[in-house]
Chain A
Amino acid sequence: MLKVAGLFTEYPNERGQIVRAAQDVSFEVPEGKLFTLLGPSGCGKTTTLRSIAGLERPRAGEISVGDRVVYSSARNVFVAPNRRGFGMVFQSYAIWPHMNVFQNAAFPLEVGDRRYSAQEIRDKVLRVLRAVQLDELADREATKLSGGQQQRLALARALVMEPQLLLLDEPLSNLDAKLRERMRFELKRLQRELRITTVYVTHDQSEALALSHSIAVMNEGHIQQIGTPREIYERPRSQFVADFVGTTNFLDGTVMGRGAEPGHFRVRTEFGEVEVRSDDDLRGNDSVVLSVRPEDVELAEARPQGDNVWEARVDQKVFLGEFLDFQVRLGGRILLARSHPSLRTPIGDAIYVKLHPEKCVALKAA
């Protein structure tokens, strides 16, 4: 449905230097899906979104929605943002303080090319306000709304003209933690119900994992990896992705040879040989970095069966309620492991570490 190809967007900052915000960004979003641009601040995700919106004029590339090309450098097409008909929610919500709730939501219907009768506008606005549960507050001053209500109003305003595409720029980042979690469900429910194609920008990995059909991780203007939330989390293709999404242990190693199963390799590390998996075609003597998630580091007081088992020593532990974080010393390395709080091995005692080959991802060292 949405297709972005070879997008480059650059702009001068206050000091006149050129910021390379989006570099060769390409992706596709199928009809009705939620696609997330995830990355640290300054990675170009917001610029990419604003280029889709038309608020930013790219230098090169092509953007099309359905059959309609809204931007193409080759064909010199640039559709003005107010003619694209996309809904957008801004990080600050941008609720107009001089209008009440109803007027805010009705604005897109009043200024558009299509003329609606007063009755039509009323019906449409009330329907969309009901969808975000603000219909009771239609006459309230917009400034009197709480943060969560402002956020829902911004969403209603973006949806009222039934856009082909919904653009969300960090819509939850101004809410407090509890509310953010609730709105996350709300947003997901609404998107799935309306089946509206959505591009979502965030720097919060848990938000991205929770909401998306598919995620693009960006860094320094480039897309690092595109995949489903599970692929991104379990099979990162680069150190950046492994590090940015979730917590992980990095271990240096050298490839010894192929492993027992296809896609498996034997890697030598400072504490011994490990059986790992990799999507890259690795060769002997390649330098690699292993990424192991803390929850995939299995700890046991009795020696477990199978390969990839070592004896380590408990260095530190932190009780966090729902789980227990261990730092164990293995060879010269400290490994972070997350375990069930029932494991009570004292500090300084020996403990066995087991790494499942499927969960040890070898990445080519940069």
Chain B
Amino acid sequence: MQAAGYPAMNAAAPFALRRSFDWKWVVIGLCVVFTIYIAVVPLAFLLWQSFFTPQTAAKAAEFTLGNYTSAYGSSETLRLFWNSVQFAVGASLFAFVLGTALAWMNERTNTPFKTLFFALSIIPLIIPGILFTVAWILLGSPKIGIINLALQNSFGLERPLFNVYSLWGMIWVDGLHYSPMAFLLMTAAFRAMDPALEESATMSGANIFQVAYRVTLKLTWPAILATLLMLFVRAIESFEVPALLGLPVGIHVFTSAIYQAVHRYPSQIGLASAYGMTLLVITTIGVYFVSRLSSRGSKYATMTGKGFRPRRIDLGPWRWVAAAVFIVYFLLIVVLPFAVLLWSSFQRFYSVPSWQALNNLTLDPYRFIFTYPNLVRSVWNTLILSFGSATVIMLVTSVICWIVVKTKLPGRWLLDNVASLPMVFPGLVLGLSIMIFYLNFDIGIYGTIWIMFIAYVTRFMPYGLRYNTTSMLQIHKELEESAAMSGASWGTTFRRVILPLLKPGLVAGWIYVMIVSIRELSSSILLYSPGTEVLSITIWELWENGQYVELSALGVLFILALFVLVMLAQWLGKKFGVKE
């Protein structure tokens, strides 16, 4: 018996040794190190930099509070702060009111065509901010704005009716552009609510307004606050609108001030860092309260019933007014901006629509764009960057969120927070800190496409994490355990069980990251160099050069391509069973 037992034990011993070195820990370790490096390093360096003088060949960097004193010592900063707050509050409130009213009409009333409207509501999110802003300049500028000219002509006014180059103009354009975000968030909030809560109020004798005020509004209050804060954080990070509309008339906010500080000669990196830190503090506070609000939201979670489809409020004849509101909104947010770009893309020089201009239609801008030397390169860069960052983000965060959700490792909550940290970075501040870091630690990636890749991965990692976490939470622990009991190693289990089950979230997140990467401008603008332009940068450059018609042609093609991509994504999503 003993003799028979020996060889078996010998065979088991090397196996046990091999077991102690497990690839699992290598993969986990690499992912954790990568995440921490990518999320923490730029932040730490930005902080450090804001306290030091610029390093030159002649003089080493020294500790100083000068950046902050020059940033906060001037009345200029106070104005900057006041402008930023006005702009962000205005834009977020406008987007919120618009989005909430539309969401309520869409979810709770019998407005005609609303299913169509819901399907259309994602289209505005496709249009990149820079193109939306440019389109609204063509519509609302006091000199060439089509709407202004049309109104002036029809009412015989001397002066243009409104000026998009103003604080109100900025609020209008930015708020309008982000109202679909408010719409989607509030739609989700309305859907999360048990319709019986409203119906029981109706049965108690309350009329529409009493139900809306005393039940619907009061119950969605946490969601309302969270949405408002999110919109505020987003608006204060906004770069395109303040840069294109505010800078020409001297309305500065933090983001445009950072951009100017970097692009001044000599560039004032320290000052930009100090502004960046301020902005970072504001967004951090905002994001912190959003996350607290959403975790507190469960306080209002009640027992839910069978989820009967909610009753639609009958608006009577007013439903046609509501439908008209939908149509006007859709005109303002999609049709008019796209139409004005389309019009100008067929012109030799930009001119306002008229019979005479109609005779000058030409395909020249498209010819220009297709022979533009930068075009192929920037399309290629954009595709590589968005494809690469989406893939890396989704794979790395799948491991990260496996650790956070499925293991009991100490400190895993910290990992979750670290990976979500980039959420507080405004794109411009992230670009700034990455720029500073790789300028100082020359590992040969400054000025290459890799620095932008790092910026994209950092910036969009939290989104990947969120998509993965949602699906990871739905995978029961026993599915994994039964794979282990069947004899699968960790790697095999992860590849054969976890990843396939994660697929819906993985695919949805991948598509989302891909789309936001394609539109990215505010980080890229500080990091690109000749040869690494992406599409949004090419558009920016065309704008700087005043090549409006060429820009329009590129914009039209860009929007159409994104539209096709999103449709493809939706089709893929249906195929893989992705739920919104």
- Which chain A residues have a beta carbon within 8 Å of chain B's beta carbons? 11, 13-14, 46, 50, 53, 55-57, 81-88, 90-98, 107-108, 111-113, 143, 147, 150, 154, 157-158, 161, 167, 174
Contact = CB atoms under 8 A, between A and B. Distances in A.
Nearest to A55: B311
Contact of A81 (B196, B202, B218): B202
Contacts of B200: 88, 90, 94, 96, 154, 157
Contact of A91 (B207, B214, B219, B305): B305
A82 B206 contact: yes
B303 A112 contact: no
22 contacts: A13-B309, A55-B199, A55-B311, A57-B314, A81-B199, A81-B202, A82-B203, A82-B207, A85-B205, A87-B203, A90-B196, A90-B200, A91-B196, A92-B194, A92-B305, A92-B306, A95-B302, A96-B200, A107-B204, A154-B200, A167-B203, A174-B305
Given A98-B300, A143-B302, A111 B196 contact: no
Given A55-B311, A111-B210, A92 B302 contact: yes
A79 B515 CA distance: 50
Contacts of A92: 194, 196, 302-306
A303 B310 CA distance: 62
Given A98-B218, A143-B299, A174-B303, A90 B199 contact: yes
Given A55-B199, A82-B206, 4 more contacts: A94-B194, A96-B197, A98-B218, A108-B205
A174 B318 CA distance: 39
Interface string B286-306: 000000000000011111111
A171 B203 CA distance: 16
Given A46-B308, A94-B196, A98-B219, A83 B300 contact: no
A97 B206 contact: no
B206 A111 contact: yes
B215 interface: yes
Interface string B186-226: 00000000101101111111110010001100110100000
Contacts of A46: 308
Top 10 A-B pairs, shortest CB-CB distance: A92-B305, A108-B204, A94-B196, A111-B206, A94-B200, A91-B305, A112-B205, A90-B196, A88-B203, A97-B300
B510 to A, nearest CB: 27
Given A94-B196, A94-B197, A82 B205 contact: yes
B205 A113 contact: yes
Q: Which residue of B200, B221, B303 has the most chain A CB atoms within 10 A of its CB atom?
A: B200
A239 B302 CA distance: 40
Given A90-B196, A92-B194, A94-B196, A53 B203 contact: yes
A172 to B, nearest CB: 13
Nearest to B300: A97
Given A86-B203, A107-B201, A93 B303 contact: yes
A157 B202 CA distance: 12
B330 to A, nearest CB: 22
A92 B310 CA distance: 14
A150 B303 contact: yes
Contact of A111 (B205, B218, B219): B205
A147 B303 contact: yes
B205 A161 contact: yes
Nearest to A147: B303
A55 B303 contact: no
Contacts of B204: 82, 107-108, 111-112, 157, 161
Contacts of B300: 97-98, 143
A111 B304 CA distance: 24
Contacts of A95: 302
Interface string B397-431: 00000000000000000000000000000000000
A107 B305 CA distance: 21
Contacts of B309: 11, 13-14
Contacts of A158: 203
Nearest to A50: B308
A82 to B, nearest CB: 5
Contact of B215 (A83, A93, A96, A154): A96
Nearest to A112: B205
A85 B314 CA distance: 19
Contacts of A82: 202-207
Contacts of A55: 199, 202-203, 311
Contacts of B304: 92
Interface in B305-332: 305-306, 308-309, 311, 314
Contact of A94 (B199, B206, B301): B199
Contacts of B218: 96, 98
Given A108-B205, A157-B200, A97 B219 contact: yes
Q: Which residue of B204, B303, B304 has the most chain A CB atoms within 10 A of its CB atom?
A: B204
Nearest to A16: B115
Interface in B154-208: 194, 196-197, 199-207
Nearest to A47: B308
Nearest to A111: B206
Nearest to A78: B314
Contacts of B210: 111
Nearest to A13: B309
B224 to A, nearest CB: 13
A143 B200 CA distance: 16
A327 B490 CA distance: 50
A312 to B, nearest CB: 44
Q: Which residue of B205, B218, B311 has the most chain A CB atoms within 10 A of its CB atom?
A: B205
A53 B311 CA distance: 12
Nearest to B204: A108
Contacts of A86: 203
B205 A97 contact: no
Contacts of A13: 309
Contacts of A112: 204-205
Contact of B311 (A56, A94, A161): A56
Contacts of B203: 53, 55, 81-82, 84, 86-88, 158, 167
Nearest to A57: B314
A30 B440 CA distance: 88
B302 to A, nearest CB: 5
Contacts of A83: 205
A98 B205 CA distance: 19
A157 B203 CA distance: 10
Interface string B528-572: 000000000000000000000000000000000000000000000
A128 to B, nearest CB: 13
A310 B197 CA distance: 59
B307 to A, nearest CB: 9
B577 to A, nearest CB: 16
A112 B201 CA distance: 10
A61 B170 CA distance: 56
A54 B199 CA distance: 10
Nearest to A84: B203
A83 B208 CA distance: 12
A108 B306 CA distance: 24
Contacts of B308: 46, 50
Contacts of B214: 107, 111
Given A81-B203, A108-B205, A161-B205, A97 B302 contact: yes
Contacts of B197: 94, 96
A91 B306 contact: yes
Contacts of A107: 201, 204, 206, 214
Nearest to A11: B309
Contacts of A143: 299-300, 302
